[in-house]
Every structure is written in structure tokens, then in C-alpha cells.
């Protein structure tokens, strides 16, 4: 697959610009300030630690001296060309779709965005949409529960779904319960996180600040960055498009929008790739199988000919798609099923438990899964999230043409090319410093502490150059009130490391290489050097997005903060890309 230049730019994107001056004042902040702290990795014994490669590095040989956290002052970032329009349009365009040419002619602005909410009046669609329940994480005492364990999640569907609802005229109280996962709002945006060293798979960037919604707590921001694979353009791909063509997909924002997105994607395929298309309605059909990626006309013709009708037998389609993926499996390549649907499964396998059982078996084939959600009204997000979480996959919601371009073209390399699977995180808090903690978001990715070291328990998939942000709200320990009760069966004494080190917590990452079954482990100690009273704009923006998610989920921890307060906070930042500007415009409408 050819590597698009814009994809590489978006991995770094204009967010690589160093931002400073982001203190607590309400004035607009300029673009230069303190960077997050780069946390050098530590490895179990007999595993080499990789020193951070930088001309500014002064910490010496980590393998000999032990890794230390080092605050890095960012150098001026390179300038990048503009990355294209976000899904926000200030004026209305006429939608003219041609199935012959597979082109979207949006008035005189052919390359502009197409967001359905701007062009068609839409009713409130709360009724009929299906979402999993989100039960907000609560504070936990460190002495009783020192470990926080969860699987990786880089999905972003909640943001584009929220955008769709706001553009369709929803107010704050119309947003369906369970439709917003705070971590997916935060992870939609790009942040200026340092990349791993040459021999490392992950890097952790940390900044601890005074919590903007609670003056009694601190907020820990952990930016986890995966390595970017080299020579991606030379890695062959085996892709099976699994397309829902049931009657419910006939709406303009479903199958027609998908066809436009796939049409753009096809142009990025070459002779090293193999493409298959499976459709499903009342039953499944193979449209093309194992076609060379450079046969663009053949593939586009097959896409153009798709039409919607019938019921939805998704289980049959999944089985057929995986059979084809296994038939044309490329050793050392990227083997993936890309499923596009509104999730309205009404024939055959329909329950989430049945889907989970099916997809859990299929993932053992070594084939990864990407799920693309479309549409409104009967949208079954609960089923799609289950498929992605249990199928070594990721999940996006496509609400407009530019989002299709963002997911399928601009960021496709970071989605398609997996660098680590079954990624799990475990944070151990030091009770000398932290008395209580609360994970912000990731409610549906929680795991038992014992599952962290169990390689049979699923984590999450992370792609080339991908980043995810993890936030903890913490309460600091008053040493005069330290927990000292004598217990019969266990000790409450701090370890020597807990007493003598300046470590507030340790981030442990366990993951598997894409084609391996045995996991690897790395550690990242987070020390008091990470605390700052002058956070950078990335950290503040992510914190304000978290506030938005908490308000939308009616959080019990947000206090008296409302959307007007959040929009004022964000307005005080020097926003450096169009997606962040779009977010500000959207929440002003709530």
C-alpha cells in the first residue's frame, strides 16, 4: 500500500508545534511553553533499556544507571502543510451523488466537507439507537486498591457521533445516555507527544497539574505514544471489505457515504495488496475475491454497484469475510477485515453475547478488524463496540465525507498497520504521595489486576504512530493521616522504594508483537518532576475535553462547571488546528 504523505503529516501534524504560555490565567495563550516530561522506559531484568535518542539527552546510559525521568525542552517544530477541512461547514451546499463516477459534488466546493446535519433537517433520533451503559469510575483508596488495570482503547467514535448529534440540532439534554465515552473525545485530537526510542515500542509523556475542575485534587495526564513503523509502503495488505447492504443502509448517510469513502481509499492501493468485498443482507455474497490492489477500476466498479435491500444477517457476513481473509492471508503483511454497518443486526446472530463469542474465535486467525459505523435512528453502537473490542480491532463513526477521508485516508496507516496487540496498562500508585485516584474514562476497558499478567486475557490494538491519552484525578496523601493499621494477614508498611523514591506512580505496559503470542513488559516511573504549575496547552485542552465528557455523562465529580465555563476555558487557549477549533464551535451550541 502506498504511504500517503498526508498520513505521515497527520501523525505528527501541526500539533507538533510547541505550545507555551498556558498558565491558569484567562488570557489567550501564546504558542510556546513547557513540554511534558518524557519518561524513559525501564525493562525487567535481562531486557535492554533504550536510552532516549536526542541531542538534548544528558541522562547517560539508562541500562547502567537506571532510567530517570527527564524534562525535555521541545525544539521548534517543523512547519507542515494544512491537513484539510474538519467536519464543520459555515454554509450549506447541495449534495449531488453520482453512482457512475463515484464522486461527491458538493456545490462548487467539491473538496469541502459533507456533514449531514448541515444539509438536512433531522428529528431527534434518541429512540431506536442502542448504546452500552457507562458507569463512571469512582475514587479508589490506594492502600486498598493500589493497582488500576485496563485495556488499551484508541477508538474515537464518540466524538464524530457527538458532532453528528449537535449538527442535527440536539441540545445537551438530548444526548443519549451511554453514547459518549470521555476517552474517545480526548483521543480524537492529536497532541505533541515525544516518540519512543529506536528500540522501544512505546513512550510515555507525563504532566501533572492542578485539576481544573476540583481545586482539592491533581490531574495526571499520560500521553502514550506508539512507535511509527518504517517502510510501511512496502508492507503488503490483505483487506476484506465487509459491507452491510441491508435495507436500513439505504439512507444518504450510510451506504452512499461509505461508497464515497471506499472510492478514495482504493486509490491508495497497489499491486502488493489484495482486496476482497463481501456484502451481507438476508445472506452474504462475495462480490470480488483476492483482486490485486492496483486494479482500481475493477474494485471501484464493484463498489459502485452495491445497493441496499433486505434484512441483516451480520453473523453470516462475518464468517464469509474471515474465510476470505484467511484464504488470501499474507505472512508478514497486514490482514484485516473492514466492516461497515449501522449495526442493525436482525437475522441470525443478533445478541452481543453471540457476537462476542463469534468474533473472539475469529480473531485467533491473526486477522484484525476495523469497524466503521454509519447512520442514525436504528444505530446499534453497542454491537459495533463489542465487535471492535473483542476482535483485535478499532471502531470509528463516519458522520461526513471529511471524516471518511480522515479515517480511511489520512490516518489509515496508523489504523491499518498494527505495532502491538493485546496492549494492557497497569498503574501502581505510591501511597506515600497519593491517597486516592480515579481513572477518567475507559469505563468499559477495566480489567481485574490479575488479568494484567494473563496472556489469555485480551487487551487492545495500537497502530503505527498512534497515541492515546490517559488521565487520572488524584488526591494527595496527608502523611499525618497515613494508614498504619496493623493487619493480621498482610503488611501495610511502605516498601523501601515507596519511602525513599520520589515516584508518585508507575505505569506498566504489557503487549504482544502483532505475530507473537507471548507478551512483553515495560515500566515507566512517574516522578514528582512531572508536576508543574504551568501546564502546556495540550494538557489543558485535553483536560477541558475531559470536562466536556463529564458534563455530557452527568458526572458527579464535575461540580458546578457547565458548557459555558468549558467553552470559556478553551477560548483562552491558542488553538493550533482546525479540529480543536471545530470542537469549540460545537460545544458552544450545547
Across residues 238-253, what is the average pLDDT? 93
Compare 470 and 312 and report the one with higher pLDDT.
470
CA distances from 298 to 267, 287, 303, 470, 545 (A): 12, 11, 9, 43, 43
β-strand pairing of 520-527 with 503-512: antiparallel
Same domain, residue pair 410 and 459: no
| CB neighbour list of residue 46: distance below 8 Å, 6 or more residues apart | none
- Give the model's pLDDT for residue 175: 95
According to DSSP H, which parts of 447-529 are helical?
496-500
Residue-level pLDDT at 116: 44
pLDDT band at 354 (very low <50, low <70, confident <90, very high): confident
Does pLDDT of 489 surpass 50?
Answer: yes
pLDDT band at residue 240, thresholds of 50, 70 and 90?
A: very high
Residue 347 has pLDDT above 90, yes or no: no
> Would you state the cell numbers that stand for residue 501, as one nine-digit string?
523514591
Does residue 14 lie within any of the structural domains? no
State mean pLDDT over 384-411: 89
pLDDT confidence band for 121 (50 / 70 / 90): very low
What H or E segment, with its residue span, contains residue 550? helix 537-552
3-class SS of residue 515: coil
- The confidence score (pLDDT) of residue 507 equals 98
Residues above pLDDT 70, as percent of the chain? 77
In a domain, 315, yes or no: yes
Residues 182 and 214 in one domain: yes
Q: Give a yes or no: residue 428 inside a domain.
A: yes
CATH number for 404: 3.40.50.410
Who has greater pLDDT, 51 or 350? 350
Q: Are 217 and 361 within one domain?
A: no
Domain closes at, from 395, 416, 437: 416
Tell me if 125 is assigned to some domain. Answer: yes
Closest CA to 340 of 254, 266, 400, 426: 254
pLDDT band of residue 204 (cuts 50, 70, 90) is very high
Residue of 387, 370, 354 whose CA lies nearest to 262? 370
Do residues 514 and 394 share a domain? no
What is the C-alpha separation between 360 and 531, in angstroms, rounded? 41
Name which residue leads in pLDDT, 25 or 203: 203
By the 8 A CB rule, do 229 and 419 touch?
yes
Answer whether residue 42 is part of any domain: yes
pLDDT tens digits, 275-302: 999 999 888 899 999 999 999 999 999 9
Question: Are residues 474 and 483 in contact, defined by beta-carbon separation less than 8 angstroms?
Answer: no
Cα torsion at 144, 147, 153, 156 (round to 10°)? 50
Contact yes or no for 34/209 (Cβ under 8 A): no
Chosen domain end from 396, 416, 436? 416
In a domain, 7, yes or no: no
Q: Evaluate whether residue 97 is within a structural domain.
A: no
pLDDT at 220 over 90: yes
Residue 305 has pLDDT above 80, yes or no: yes
Residue (of 544, 563, 564) closest to 554 by Cα position = 563
Q: Where are the beta strands (DSSP E) in 50-185?
A: 70-71, 95-98, 103-106, 140-141, 147-151
Spatial CA neighbour of 581 closest among 36, 93, 163, 108: 163
**Does some domain include residue 82?**
no
Cα–Cα distance for residue pair 450/226, rounded to 1 Å: 25
Average pLDDT, the chain: 81
Kindly indicate the confidence band of residue 38, based on its pLDDT and cuts at 50, 70 and 90.
Answer: confident
The fraction of the chain above a pLDDT of 90, given in percent, is 58
Instruction: Report the number of distinct structural domains present in the chain.
Output: 2
Residue 85 clears pLDDT 60, i.e. is over it: no
Average pLDDT over residues 311-325: 85
Domain that holds residue 460: 23-72+114-229+419-590
Same domain, 477 and 410: no
Task: Grade residue 8 by pLDDT with cuts at 50, 70 and 90.
Answer: very low
The answer to whether residues 222 and 236 belong to one domain is no
CA distance linking residue 557 with residue 561, whole number of Å: 10
Q: Residue 239's pLDDT band (boundaries 50, 70, 90)?
A: very high
pLDDT for residue 532 is more than 50? yes
Look at residue 378 in the predicted model and tell me its pLDDT.
82
473 and 539 both lie in a single domain: yes
Domain end, chosen from 416, 451, 480, is at: 416
Q: Give the model's pLDDT for residue 357.
A: 80
Q: In sequence order, what are the residues at sequence separation of 6 or more whose Cβ sits closer than 8 angstroms to the Cβ of residue 132?
A: 178, 381, 382, 385, 444
pLDDT of res. 560: 93
pLDDT at 86 over 50: no
Amino acid at each position: 500500500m502506498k504511504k500517503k504523505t498526508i498520513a505521515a503529516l497527520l501523525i505528527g501534524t501541526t500539533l507538533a508545534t510547541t505550545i507555551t504560555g498556558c498558565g491558569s490565567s484567562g488570557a489567550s495563550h501564546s504558542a510556546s511553553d513547557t513540554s511534558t516530561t518524557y519518561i524513559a522506559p525501564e525493562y525487567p531484568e535481562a531486557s535492554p533499556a533504550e536510552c532516549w535518542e536526542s541531542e538534548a539527552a544528558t541522562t547517560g546510559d539508562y541500562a547502567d544507571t537506571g532510567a530517570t525521568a527527564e524534562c525535555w525542552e521541545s525544539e521548534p517544530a517543523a512547519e507542515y502543510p494544512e491537513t484539510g477541512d474538519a467536519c464543520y461547514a459555515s454554509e450549506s451546499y447541495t449534495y449531488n451523488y453520482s453512482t457512475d463516477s463515484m464522486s461527491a459534488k458538493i456545490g462548487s466546493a467539491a473538496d469541502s466537507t459533507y456533514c449531514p446535519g448541515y444539509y438536512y433537517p433531522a428529528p431527534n433520533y434518541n429512540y431506536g439507537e442502542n448504546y452500552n451503559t457507562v458507569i463512571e469510575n469512582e475514587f479508589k483508596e490506594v492502600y486498598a486498591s493500589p493497582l488500576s488495570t485496563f485495556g488499551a482503547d484508541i477508538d474515537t467514535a464518540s466524538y464524530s457521533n457527538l458532532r453528528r448529534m449537535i449538527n442535527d440540532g440536539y441540545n445537551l439534554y438530548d444526548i443519549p445516555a451511554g453514547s459518549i465515552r470521555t476517552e474517545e473525545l480526548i483521543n480524537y485530537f492529536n497532541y505533541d507527544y515525544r516518540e519512543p526510542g529506536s528500540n522501544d515500542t512505546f513512550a510515555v509523556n507525563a504532566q501533572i497539574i492542578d485539576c481544573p475542575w476540583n481545586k482539592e485534587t491533581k490531574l495526571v495526564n499520560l500521553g502514550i505514544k506508539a512507535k511509527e513503523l518504517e517502510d510501511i509502503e512496502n508492507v503488503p495488505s490483505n483487506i476484506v471489505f465487509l459491507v452491510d447492504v441491508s435495507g436500513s443502509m439505504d439512507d444518504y448517510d450510510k451506504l452512499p457515504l461509505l461508497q464515497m469513502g471506499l472510492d478514495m481509499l482504493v486509490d491508495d492501493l497497489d499491486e502488493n495488496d489484495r482486496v476482497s468485498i463481501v456484502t451481507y443482507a438476508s445472506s452474504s455474497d462475495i462480490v470480488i475475491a483476492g483482486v490485486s490492489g492496483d486494479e482500481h477500476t475493477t474494485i471501484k466498479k464493484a463498489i459502485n454497484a452495491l445497493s441496499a435491500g433486505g434484512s441483516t444477517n451480520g453473523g453470516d457476513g462475518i464468517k464469509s469475510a474471515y474465510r476470505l481473509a484467511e484464504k488470501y492471508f499474507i505472512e508478514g503483511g497486514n490482514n484485516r477485515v473492514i466492516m461497515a454497518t449501522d449495526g442493525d443486526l436482525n437475522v441470525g446472530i443478533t445478541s452481543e453475547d453471540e457476537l462476542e463469542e463469534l468474533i473472539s474465535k475469529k480473531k485467533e486467525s491473526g486477522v484484525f478488524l476495523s469497524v466503521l459505523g454509519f447512520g442514525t435512528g436504528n444505530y446499534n453502537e453497542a454491537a459495533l463496540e463489542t465487535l471492535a473490542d473483542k476482535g483485535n480491532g478499532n471502531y470509528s463513526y463516519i458522520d461526513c465525507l471529511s471524516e471518511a477521508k480522515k479515517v480511511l485516508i489520512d490516518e489509515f496507516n496508523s489504523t491499518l498497520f498494527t505495532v502491538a496487540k493485546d496492549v494492557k496498562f497497569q498503574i501502581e500508585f505510591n501511597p506515600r504521595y497519593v491517597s486516592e485516584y480515579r481513572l477518567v474514562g475507559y469505563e468499559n476497558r477495566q480489567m481485574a489486576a490479575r488479568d494484567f499478567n494473563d496472556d489469555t486475557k485480551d487487551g487492545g490494538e495500537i497502530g503505527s504512530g498512534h497515541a492515546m491519552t490517559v488521565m487520572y484525578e488524584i488526591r494527595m496523601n496527608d502523611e499525618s493521616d497515613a494508614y498504619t493499621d496493623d493487619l493480621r494477614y498482610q503488611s501495610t508498611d511502605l516498601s523501601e522504594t515507596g519511602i525513599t523514591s520520589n515516584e508518585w506512580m508507575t505505569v506498566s505496559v504489557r503487549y504482544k508483537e502483532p505475530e507473537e503470542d507471548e507478551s512483553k513488559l515495560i515500566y515507566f516511573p512517574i516522578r514528582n518532576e512531572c508536576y508543574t504549575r504551568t501546564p502546556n496547552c495540550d494538557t489543558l485542552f485535553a483536560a477541558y475535553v475531559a470536562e466536556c465528557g463529564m458534563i455530557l455523562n452527568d458526572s458527579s465529580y464535575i461540580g458546578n462547571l457547565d458548557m459555558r465555563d468549558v467553552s470559556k476555558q478553551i477560548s483562552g487557549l491558542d488553538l493550533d488546528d482546525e479540529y480543536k477549533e471545530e470542537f469549540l464551535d460545537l460545544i458552544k451550541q450545547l
